[in-house]
Structure 1
Amino acid sequence: MDPIIAATHADPYPYYAQLRAEGGLAFHPRLQMWVASSARAVAAVLAHPDCHVRPAQEPVPRAIADGIAGQVFGQLMRMNEGERQRCPRSAIAPGLELVDTREVEALVSARLITADAAGLFNAMFRGPVCVVAALLGFTPAQGRIISELTADFVACLSPLSGAAQLTAAHAAAEQLSGYCIELLAAPDNHSHLLGGIRQRFASGPPQTLIANLIGLFSQTFEATAGLIGNAVLALIDHPSLPSESTPVEALLAEVQRFDPPVQNTRRFVAVACEIDGVRLDAGDVILVLLASANRDPQLNDNPDAFLLDRPNRRSFTFGAGRHQCPGQRLALSIAGATLKQFLAMKPALDHLKRAYRPSANGRTPQFSN
């Protein structure tokens, strides 16, 4: 076991507890990086101005730097600091907070979801992107294509992707860019979400707006699929939770703390500094174990218990500080509406088999019958 393999291990949480006991911020010799495992260390790293989301010498991963996926990656607000992060974030984040949950529910209910593993797969990995595409003004047919392209594009975000996957990611990035260019040029687009984004981003470069619309799809794809899947696992693993009457909002609130879809993230030390009593050098890499911090007793009482009515629930799943995920409310809304529709069909959850998708940081189950 190591902190990266742990993300897709059947039960990484005892290992995370062991890491916390050995020190909240410690160096892992084999991985050659620091590991932040306690709530205090994770909070300190995420808040520190000299801990950046990309290394200064490699703002775009070398594997994709020469292709269009790399061009998109380099402009994503989640992969930048300073004005290159603040500008697109200030344009996109306010609109995500204003999305009407009733509109999300209507868009989810308009999709056909079946009560089997194939239906759950589509609900997890296709439906959420289709909802976001519809909110931006794309047609249902376009949304289905965009969801497929997004599934290909996210391969460029993973260090586990091979040459064929990266080639597909470049092609997907080009096609997604084309769809976004056409959307922005359409005179009859009446999307309130896109209208607000365009108004707030009026002085920004068009290519940055397009890249971050693609980023909105990719973040929706990754986070929401994991939220839905891990909520289904919670219902399977905790039989005392009646799937038909469990309050979905409370379920998701605890799932995102207890078994989050994003287990870790990374930060790169730009300038020598001290964090949580540890001296770090410029160029050091920190693996930030969000999932471990969520289970820290210093953050949540009785952290290993799954409690729907947990008082004062605290979580790092959606990040913190300047890079906190702006789409948290929307992701929870889409996941909640999807779960309600799926559970209303009374699926045979105990017949589902599970396996985690390969990932260095995500914890997303894939089900089969």
Structure 2
Amino acid sequence: MTPFEAATHADPYVYYSGLRRQNGLLFDADLRLWIASDAEFVEAILGHPDCCVRPLNEPIPPAIARGMAGVIFGRLMRMNEGPPHLCPRMAIEPALASVETENIEDIVSRVVDILDNPVDNVDELMFTLPVSVIATLIGLPSSRLQEVAKLTRDFVACLSPLSDEIQLGKANAGATRLSELFTALLSSDDKCSRFLSHIRSGCEATAWGDHPAFIANLIGLLSQTCEATAGLIGNTLVALHRNPDLIEEMQLTPMMVADLVAEVARYDSPVQNTRRFVAKRCTIRGRVLEAGDTVLLLLASANRDACANPDPDSFLLNRTQRRTFSFGSGRHECPGQQLALTIASQTILVWLHRQSTPFDRPYRWRYLPSLNGRIPKFYRDQETQQ
């Protein structure tokens, strides 16, 4: 098995454990990259200033460099270092932190009522609902939510090396249309949403006035929500399917759903790995990395490191001082981590509340093709695996 195959394997965690026992940081000659598998190395590399999110000589992947998807990609704060990373983050992060659980609960309940049966249609529950919540927060009208969710799914295809030419074409079209929608929203004379107003205030406070980058990072909020939150919701449903006693427990004590989702994020991470690219020669925990080296960080493996989480292979709702690397760490730690957890928790609550008999017909699942994401695709016994 390779780390890329592990992301969508039925149970990659025995493999990760074996890697941690060999070495927390080892070089794979076949893959021509370093593999960091334990919590200490993962955290150290994520926090090191010479380990960047993109290679210095390739800020945009060649496959998308000539299209609109590449233009958006190149302006995303998560794909940049220095001011292009810090300026939008300083404007957007406070707005993300200001969103209250009660607000998300209200938006989720409203969005559920206008979507296409998202409780029974698990794909709609996982993908359309979370993106629609963020789109609503930003201020896009309810009539656009289905379109925006589809466009976002089209756009995120550009982030995967597995995408074909057709998918990349749709990604470019999706990026173009999303840019048009946000341009229209920002140009409107209508009163903007509280969330968008907060971001605009942050732009003024930090003197960040890059309008194209502003639009790109609004699209980035949708794209980061899309697959990661879908995986978090889906893997929580997997956990409930494997532990049906938890369903009644969650229905009786809904306050525990947040603990359930937080433990799923650690135990069965929706983002299994990420990469860092060494900008210049550096030494990390006694290991020398050369300029141009690539490091694959196994976030899901670090989550299962006993040094970070005692008894790591047990699923514990009441785990104390839980450490989760699924959302990254250091300067590129996802600023929407708490918002993603809240959206997933509220979505699971809706699913539990509206299901009269959860799993009355057992689900099966496989994982969508990916080199780093762990997102289940559910189907029934009598359904074809599309």
TM-score past 0.5 threshold: yes
How far apart in 2 are the matches of 1:143 and 1:277? 50
How is 1:23-102 mapped onto 2 (pairs within 5 angstroms)?
23-102=23-102
How far apart in 1 are the matches of 2:215 and 2:117? 36
Deviation at 1:201, TM superposition (A): 1.7
Secondary structure of the residue that 1:35 maps to in structure 2? strand
| Partner residue, 1:15 | 15
Structure 2 counterpart of 1:259, from 255, 260, 268: 268
Kindly indicate whether the alpha-carbon contact (under 8 Å) linking 1:224 and 1:331 is maintained by their aligned counterparts in 2: yes
Segments of structure 2 that go 5 or more residues without pairing to the other structure are 381-386
How far apart in 2 are the matches of 1:96 and 1:338? 18
Query: Residue by residue, what CA displacement relative to the aligned partner does 1:98-126 show, whole Å, maximum 9, x if unpaired?
Result: 11211211111121378888522101110
How far apart in 1 are the matches of 2:117 and 2:199? 36
| Partner residue, 1:147 | 149
The AA in structure 2 aligned to 1:259 is D
Kindly indicate whether the alpha-carbon contact (under 8 Å) linking 2:118 and 2:129 is maintained by their aligned counterparts in 1: no
The AA in structure 2 aligned to 1:60 is I
Is 2:354 the counterpart of 1:345?
A: yes
The AA in structure 1 aligned to 2:54 is R
| Partner residue, 1:212 | 217
How far apart in 2 are the matches of 1:142 and 1:181? 14
Query: Residue by residue, what CA displacement relative to the aligned partner does 1:130-159 show, whole Å, maximum 9, x if unpaired?
Result: 111111111111122111100100000011
Structure 2 counterpart of 1:323, from 311, 325, 332: 332
Deviation at 1:199, TM superposition (A): 2.1
Kindly indicate whether the alpha-carbon contact (under 8 Å) linking 2:39 and 2:302 is maintained by their aligned counterparts in 1: yes
How is 1:253-332 mapped onto 2 (pairs within 5 angstroms)?
253-332=262-341
How far apart in 2 are the matches of 1:266 and 1:25? 13
The AA in structure 1 aligned to 2:66 is D
TM (normalized to structure 1)?
A: 0.97
Task: Tell me the percent identity.
Answer: 51
How far apart in 2 are the matches of 1:56 and 1:190? 37
How far apart in 2 are the matches of 1:359 and 1:36? 19
| Partner residue, 1:226 | 231
Deviation at 1:12, TM superposition (A): 0.2
Kindly indicate whether the alpha-carbon contact (under 8 Å) linking 2:367 and 2:377 is maintained by their aligned counterparts in 1: yes
Query: Residue by residue, what CA displacement relative to the aligned partner does 1:12-45 show, whole Å, maximum 9, x if unpaired?
Result: 0000000000100000111110000000110110
The AA in structure 1 aligned to 2:34 is W
How is 1:114-153 mapped onto 2 (pairs within 5 angstroms)?
119-153=121-155
Q: How many residue pairs were aligned?
A: 369
Shift of the 109–116 alpha-carbon distance from structure 1 to 2, 3 Å rule, reads closer
Is 2:246 the counterpart of 1:235?
A: no
Kindly indicate whether the alpha-carbon contact (under 8 Å) linking 1:117 and 1:367 is maintained by their aligned counterparts in 2: no
Query: Residue by residue, what CA displacement relative to the aligned partner does 1:280-326 show, whole Å, maximum 9, x if unpaired?
Result: 11000000000000000111100000000111111111111100000
| Partner residue, 1:367 | 378
Structure 1 counterpart of 2:162, from 160, 167, 178: 160
Kindly indicate whether the alpha-carbon contact (under 8 Å) linking 2:275 and 2:294 is maintained by their aligned counterparts in 1: yes
| Partner residue, 2:104 | 104
| Partner residue, 1:334 | 343
Structure 2 counterpart of 1:356, from 360, 364, 367: 367
Secondary structure of the residue that 2:197 maps to in structure 1? helix
Deviation at 1:345, TM superposition (A): 2.3
The AA in structure 1 aligned to 2:235 is N
Moved more, 244-253 or 123-132: 244-253
| Partner residue, 1:174 | 176
How far apart in 1 are the matches of 2:95 and 2:270? 24
